[in-house]
Amino acid sequence: MIPIMEPQIDHQEIDRVLDCLKTGWISSQGSYIPEFEKTFAEYCGSGYGIATSNGTTALHLALVTLGLSPGDEVIVPALSFIATANAVTYCGAKPVFVDVNPRNWTMDPEALRVLITPRTKAIIPVHLYGHPADMDPILEIASEFGIWVIEDAAEAHGAEYKGKKVGSLGHAGCFSFYGNKIISTGEGGMMVTDNPEWAEKARMLRDHGMSKERKYWHPCIGFNYRMTNIQAAIGLGQMTKIEAIIRRKKEIADYYRRRLENLPAINLPLEEPWAKHVFWLFSVSLSPEFKKDRDGLIAFLAEQDIESRPVFYPIPSMPPYQGYGVFPVTEMISKSSLSLPSGAGLTREQMDQVANRIEKYLLA
């Protein structure tokens, strides 16, 4: 089976994990956690990093930190993994969905303004599949209305917008280190910010709302969103190779592009002039008028032991969020698109096998 993605693990991670096991620092205390927070925040160009148990808790923690409460509204793209909207719902607030740009599949800034109401508290642009959202117009609108911007960068470690890394563009950025992400800690997440008050508050909320001056004193209700020292040890090992992984993923994307660009009815991902795309997953779409559909291609690849995945469903199409609107661009992308094997460990032979099978399906 050619997998969609798998982590790149070697002695950098293994040696650090063994150190945790030998010293007994295996839980949510230990030196690797602050070191990983500092290393990752600096990589993003942010002042502070707050490690969490996963990417969803990073999003929720950021929203609670900024004071999101019932009755508030948060604008999120209709095309994303459902956690983007769920984190808003956890706060008792309402996600307000916006359609995406058909070119790069990220939040359409031109559709934002009409959605803003006096209840709008934040905007969550998602850097989908590794391509940055168009942040300048989003930030300009947010500044005009006094709205917070929380970046969902779960899939975009190292991606850049106009030369600046994602996560450092808004008021806070949130990342996932799940096993299929560009770098992984197995499970895990990170909130980054330049706001020292937010960082301090987020650290307290992450640890049951416990005061850092008074042990077992809880001035507020918090959460158990802590990362373990073992996870942070893996993360530090991953950070030693993050740029090599990103370079390799660009090479894979370029190779797929050369192999697939002349096939009929297939649309390849673009990279805007202002963006550095990190190609978390190399995702393509089939033209709607083509006689063969996306699901047929996924099934055909599976028969050849090649894993592929459909692009996310529109969040408003799923039961918890039905009735929140109709989003034609999101619907079109979701129905026609799929992600191909994209792991940094892919060989040329495996990529050729994927491309050959796609060519066979489209030309048959």
Per-residue model confidence as pLDDT tens for the chain (364 residues)? 999 999 999 999 999 999 999 999 999 999 999 999 999 999 999 999 999 999 999 999 999 999 999 999 999 999 999 999 999 999 999 999 999 999 999 999 999 999 999 999 999 999 999 999 999 999 999 999 999 999 999 999 999 999 999 999 999 999 999 999 999 999 999 999 999 999 999 999 999 999 999 999 999 999 999 999 999 999 999 999 999 999 999 999 999 999 999 998 999 999 999 999 999 999 999 998 888 899 999 999 999 999 999 999 999 999 999 999 999 999 999 999 999 999 999 999 999 999 999 999 999 8
Please give the span between the terminal C-alpha atoms of the chain, in angstroms, as a whole number. Answer: 23
Backbone CA torsion sign across 218, 222, 223, 225? negative
Q: Are 271 and 127 in contact (CB under 8 A)?
A: no
Angle subtended by helix axes 229-239 and 11-23, to nearest 10: 150
Q: Where are the alpha helices (DSSP H) in the chain?
A: 11-23, 32-44, 55-65, 83-90, 135-145, 196-206, 229-239, 242-260, 294-303, 328-336, 348-363
Cα separations in angstroms, 112 against 102, 109, 122, 234, 318:
15, 5, 12, 39, 22
**Ordered structural domains, the chain, with CATH:** 11-98+106-239 (3.40.640.10), 243-363 (3.90.1150.10)
**Residue 103 one-letter amino acid:** R
Distance CA 189, CA 175 (A): 5
pLDDT of residue 292: 87
Q: Are 252 and 53 in contact (CB under 8 A)?
A: no
pLDDT of residue 288: 83
Q: E strand or H helix at 309, and its extent?
A: strand 309-310
Backbone CA torsion sign across 240, 3, 309, 257? positive
Q: How many residues does the chain have?
A: 364
Q: Write the burial class of residue 36 (CB in 10 Å: 0-12 exposed, 13-18 middle, 19+ buried).
A: buried
pTM above 0.95, yes or no: yes
Pairing state between β 148-152 and 48-52:
unpaired
CB contact set of 213 (below 8 Å; sequence gap of 6+): none
Token reading at 266: 């297939």
Strands, sheet with 309-310, edge to edge from the N-terminal-most edge strand: 266-267, 282-286, 337-340, 309-310
Q: Are 174 and 181 in contact (CB under 8 A)?
A: no
What is the chain's Cα-based Rg? 21
Distance CA 252, CA 244 (A): 12
Token reading at 34: 């602050």
DSSP conformational letter for 157 = T
pLDDT of residue 259: 97
pLDDT of residue 364: 85
